[in-house]
């Protein structure tokens, strides 16, 4: 068995080929292209080997190319290679050799090195669509805040009893009819309507994806999760079988607290915020729905702890309860039943 460590870059690859015993056989530089990967495959000439590199934007396509070529390839999170980032002798050659050494130790069961899960093909397209949806959604919220501040600053009031939600079409139309002479306000409303249209067009794509998915139907049985949010969650999770427990899933997405164990003292700090931040953004949105609608045990938990813990910590703690429910309904394949 040979162990191949690759230090991926945008234009080139630093490759270290290590023997079973830990001696370096060869160090080469290759182009960061499929042709470069073919050169590596031909270089190994049918020998049994494994490949590993850091999870990096420009590594994903080449990693996928190796997988499709039948090569045993892995990517691992950069945080697991702190010995590289902290090294005073940081060179491409040293980095690739260190990665090969880590791969060798992992293969021998001597270290526990987590492997990054790389989504592919349709899964990647769905995740890209979810990220695309976040941009206009954020812009939509920001533009509505600007509209409200503009109206308040200029003393432009409407009947809040009749129009409690300014995001509604009827309310926006009333504002346009009430203050037609305010050019800046009219333009902001037009911008808001345009962004809303963008969100709607993307949402239509999600609705088509949600029709026949059992996982999405299971997630919508949870309070505060509609079709759109369910699709976004599944784009992050991909398959619940990736996780042995809810705690493993919580840790993967950076929702587990930092733990400092010193002798008999164990301290729990802030959440690690590891993994994809989009998952935490989605879950925070679900929690916001729980807080707004109430009548749920998670909302009740927040209400009962916000004074003692503080609103931010209570919100984070409440959010941490969601992975348990998500894991349960997807693993058991049964909808959530509120008790």
Going from the C-alpha of 326 to that of each of 10, 113, 123, 329, 332, the distances in angstroms are: 37, 26, 19, 6, 10
Which pLDDT score, from 0 to 100, does residue 56 have? 82
**Roughly how many angstroms between the first and final C-alpha of the chain, as a whole number?**
55
Question: 261: which DSSP letter?
Answer: E
Largest distance between two CA atoms of the chain:
80
Q: Please, which residues have CB within 8 angstroms of residue 257's CB and are 6 or more apart in sequence?
A: 268, 269, 270, 271, 272
323, burial (CB in 10 Å: exposed 0-12, middle 13-18, buried 19+): buried
- Cα 79 to Cα 274: distance, rounded to the nearest angstrom: 9
pLDDT value for 236: 87
pLDDT at position 40 is: 94
The whole-number pLDDT of residue 9 equals: 92
Mean pLDDT by groups of 10 residues along the chain of 339 residues: 93 94 94 95 92 88 92 82 59 88 90 74 80 90 96 95 93 96 97 94 76 82 85 88 88 75 56 77 85 75 86 85 91 85
Report d(CA 321, CA 329) in Å as an integer. Answer: 13
Only one residue has tokens 């994903």, namely 60
* pLDDT score recorded for residue 70: 92
Return the pLDDT at 54.
87
Cβ-based neighbours of 321, under 8 Å, separated by 6 or more:
298, 301
């Amino acid at each position: 068995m040979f162990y191949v460590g690759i230090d991926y870059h945008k234009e080139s690859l630093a490759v270290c080929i290590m023997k079973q015993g830990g001696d370096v056989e060869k160090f080469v530089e290759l182009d960061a292209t499929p042709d470069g990967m073919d050169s590596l495959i031909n270089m190994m000439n049918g020998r049994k080997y494994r490949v590993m590199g850091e999870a990096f934007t420009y590594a994903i396509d080449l990693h996928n190319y190796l997988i499709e070529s039948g090569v045993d390839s892995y990517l691992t999170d950069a945080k697991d290679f702190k010995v590289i980032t902290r090294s005073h002798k940081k060179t491409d050659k040293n980095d690739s050799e260190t990665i090969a050494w880590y791969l060798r130790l992992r293969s021998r069961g001597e270290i526990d090195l987590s492997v990054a899960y790389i989504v592919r093909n349709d899964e990647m397209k769905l995740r890209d669509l979810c990220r695309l949806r976040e941009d206009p959604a954020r812009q939509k919220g920001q533009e509505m805040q600007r509209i409200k501040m503009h109206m308040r600053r200029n003393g432009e009031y409407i009947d809040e009893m009749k129009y409690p939600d300014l995001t509604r079409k009827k309310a926006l139309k009333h504002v346009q009819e009430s203050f037609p002479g305010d050019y800046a306000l009219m333009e902001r409303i037009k911008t808001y309507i345009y962004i809303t249209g963008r969100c709607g067009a993307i949402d239509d794509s999600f609705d088509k994806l949600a029709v026949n998915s059992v996982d999405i139907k299971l997630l919508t049985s949870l309070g505060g999760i509609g079709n759109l949010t369910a699709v976004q969650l599944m784009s992050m999770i991909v398959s619940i079988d990736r996780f042995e427990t809810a705690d493993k899933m919580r840790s993967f997405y950076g929702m587990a607290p930092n733990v400092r164990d010193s002798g008999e003292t164990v301290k729990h700090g802030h959440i690690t915020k590891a993994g994809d931040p989009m998952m935490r953004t989605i879950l925070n949105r679900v929690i916001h729905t729980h807080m707004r609608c109430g009548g749920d045990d998670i909302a009740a938990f927040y209400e009962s702890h916000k004074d003692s813990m503080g609103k931010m910590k209570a919100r984070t703690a409440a959010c941490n309860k969601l992975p348990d429910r998500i894991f349960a309904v997807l693993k058991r394949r049964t909808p959530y039943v509120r008790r």
